């Protein structure tokens, strides 16, 4: 008789498992509490489904915090492998100007999902909707809440793919932590990542900066610097320029209650050159107009500079340049997890083997965002889920 594999949670990680597990060897079933697969995957596609990134593999893996747990899985199924796999599945991709990889124009996120679901079905994987996993029985069987009452299911292999805790409307609520805690498995409470960050802007400033972007900047927090762009909001700031600094910001917030970030408004201009530009210029413009012209500053940049400097400091070119290159902003908290793109927290990485098996529960595996790691936006989140899923499918197929 074939061994059984139960995949709990039908999101991104489950999609690749469903496509890749060998159903000649195993009877495979997916149990999903919603009435459809991969709601978060579809939400992810709202702003363009960023499936992975095209950057060099050696740089790619270093985007994860920590990265070591993912190294073997990523080597086994890298960004290049994922692109090939998607193409072979009939899903053509293209690389955007930022190096991000998307489905080819005309292929909508729902088309990607439908194609993967077709592949899962043609692989004879059974999908059980409206099956909410509600914990383990005393002998570690799985208990599900279903429309026809509670069900207890025994399975030779179990793969948990329950996702993180951001955007809970999609079904990924992270409300299962206690089921693992009860089994003495170390878990960490969920926190937002790739999220908005709270800055207590003065009210009068909000009126003039809300919705304004800061483009071509670099931002530093702790020992990490990232270049990109952010948007100023009434809450604080958000955007792809700040998301990769989430681990450092979260760390400082947890340790100090506040996080300091430093914005370089002109990363391509050295402090020396900036100072030369504003001190050597001989124009009939006012002091501020001259600075705006020489440093090519827009209205938002000058308003921000003025907001962090006293009037007398603003009249000092050296201080202007110091702030231009190192504008300090104080982050007082992370934004709500409900609006975050991803979360950290969940099952501690110390609880799993290299093959993603729970050390305390044999033949039970955990993959995807329910593990406690961090990844920035840019396709890194989905890539990690696909790499883990493919690696685990290959591992189980080879047993």
Ligand X SMILES: Cc1cc2nc3c(=O)[nH]c(=O)nc-3n(C[C@H](O)[C@H](O)[C@H](O)COP(=O)(O)OP(=O)(O)OC[C@H]3O[C@@H](n4cnc5c(N)ncnc54)[C@H](O)[C@@H]3O)c2cc1C
- Give the nearest distance from C-beta 305 to ligand X in angstroms: 32
The residue (of 161 and 209) whose beta carbon lies closer to ligand X is 161
Q: How many CB atoms lie within 10 A of CB 333?
A: 18
The residue (of 143 and 303) whose beta carbon lies closer to ligand X is 143
- Spatial neighbors of 192 by CB under 8 A, at least 6 apart, are 166, 334, 335, 336, 337, 339, 340, 343
The residue (of 49 and 320) whose beta carbon lies closer to ligand X is 49
The residue (of 50 and 333) whose beta carbon lies closer to ligand X is 50
Q: DSSP for 352-397?
A: B-TTSBBTTSTTEEE-GGGBS-B--SSSHHHHHHHHHHHHHHHHHH
**What is the distance between the alpha carbons of residues 189 and 197, in angstroms, rounded to a whole number?**
19
The residue (of 9 and 317) whose beta carbon lies closer to ligand X is 9
Q: Which residue is nearest to ligand X (CB)?
A: 11
- Give the nearest distance from C-beta 343 to ligand X in angstroms: 9
- Give the nearest distance from C-beta 224 to ligand X in angstroms: 20
The residue (of 74 and 314) whose beta carbon lies closer to ligand X is 74
- Give the nearest distance from C-beta 253 to ligand X in angstroms: 21
- Give the nearest distance from C-beta 46 to ligand X in angstroms: 6
- Give the nearest distance from C-beta 304 to ligand X in angstroms: 27
Chain-centroid distance, C-alpha 241: 13
The residue (of 143 and 206) whose beta carbon lies closer to ligand X is 143
- Give the nearest distance from C-beta 161 to ligand X in angstroms: 5
Torsion of CA 330, 334, 336, 338, to 10 degrees: 140
Nearest to 237 by CA among 167, 302, 331: 331
**What is the distance between the alpha carbons of residues 162 and 7, in angstroms, rounded to a whole number?**
9
Which residues contribute to the site for ligand X (CB under 6 A)? 8-14, 31-34, 38-41, 43-44, 49-50, 132-133, 161-163, 166-167, 171-172, 176, 341-342, 368-370, 379-382, 385
Query: Judging by DSSP bridges, how do beta strands 26-31 and 126-128 pair with one another?
Result: parallel
The residue (of 13 and 294) whose beta carbon lies closer to ligand X is 13
- Give the nearest distance from C-beta 9 to ligand X in angstroms: 3
- Give the nearest distance from C-beta 43 to ligand X in angstroms: 5
- Give the nearest distance from C-beta 176 to ligand X in angstroms: 5
Residue 346 DSSP label: E
Nearest to 335 by CA among 212, 245, 250: 250
Full strand arrangement of the beta sheet holding 213-221: 327-331, 259-264, 213-221, 224-232, 236-238, 197-198, 333-334
The residue (of 153 and 237) whose beta carbon lies closer to ligand X is 153
**What is the distance between the alpha carbons of residues 176 and 8, in angstroms, rounded to a whole number?**
12
Query: Judging by DSSP bridges, how do beta strands 52-53 and 132-136 pair with one another?
Result: unpaired
The residue (of 120 and 274) whose beta carbon lies closer to ligand X is 120
Judge whether 12 and 379 are in contact, CB under 8 Å. Answer: no
- Spatial neighbors of 66 by CB under 8 A, at least 6 apart, are 349, 373
């Amino acid at each position: 008789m074939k061994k059984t594999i139960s995949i709990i949670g039908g999101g991104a990680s489950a999609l690749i498992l469903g496509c890749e597990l060998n159903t000649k060897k195993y009877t495979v079933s997916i149990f999903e509490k919603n009435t459809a697969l991969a709601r978060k995957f579809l939400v992810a596609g709202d702003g363009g489904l960023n499936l992975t990134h095209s950057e060099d593999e050696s740089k790619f893996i270093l985007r994860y915090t920590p990265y070591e747990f993912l190294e073997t899985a990523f080597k086994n199924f890298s960004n290049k492998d994922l692109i090939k796999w998607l193409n072979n599945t009939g899903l053509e991709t293209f690389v955007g100007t930022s190096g991000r990889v998307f489905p080819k124009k005309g292929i909508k996120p729902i088309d990607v999902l439908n194609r993967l679901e077709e592949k899962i079905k043609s692989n004879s994987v059974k999908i059980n909707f409206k099956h909410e996993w509600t914990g383990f029985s005393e002998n570690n069987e799985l208990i599900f809440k279903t429309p026809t009452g509670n069900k207890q299911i025994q399975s030779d292999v179990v793969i948990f793919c329950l996702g993180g805790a951001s955007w809970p409307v999609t079904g990924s609520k992270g409300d299962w932590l206690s089921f693992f805690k009860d089994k003495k498995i170390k878990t960490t409470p969920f926190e937002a990542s790739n999220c908005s960050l709270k800055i207590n802007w003065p009210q009068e400033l909000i009126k003039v900066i809300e919705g304004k972007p800061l483009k071509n900047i670099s931002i530093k927090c702790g020992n990490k610097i990232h270049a990109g762009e952010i948007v100023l909001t009434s809450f604080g700031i958000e955007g792809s320029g700040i998301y990769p600094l989430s681990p450092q910001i979260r760390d400082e917030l947890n340790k100090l209650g506040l996080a300091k970030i430093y914005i370089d408004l002109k990363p391509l201009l050295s402090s020396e050159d900036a100072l030369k530009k504003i001190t050597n210029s001989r124009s009939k413009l006012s002091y501020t107009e001259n600075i705006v012209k020489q440093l090519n500053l827009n209205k938002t940049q000058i308003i921000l500079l003025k907001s962090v400097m006293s009037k007398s400091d603003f009249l000092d070119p050296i201080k202007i340049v110091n702030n231009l290159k190192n504008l300090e902003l104080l982050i007082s908290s992370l934004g709500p997890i409900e609006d975050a793109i991803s979360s950290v927290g969940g099952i501690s990485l110390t609880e799993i083997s290299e093959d993603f098996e729970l050390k305390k529960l044999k033949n039970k595996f955990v993959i995807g965002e329910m593990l406690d790691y961090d990844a920035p936006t840019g396709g890194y989140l989905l890539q990690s889920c696909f790499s883990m899923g493919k690696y685990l499918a290959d591992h189980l197929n080879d047993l």
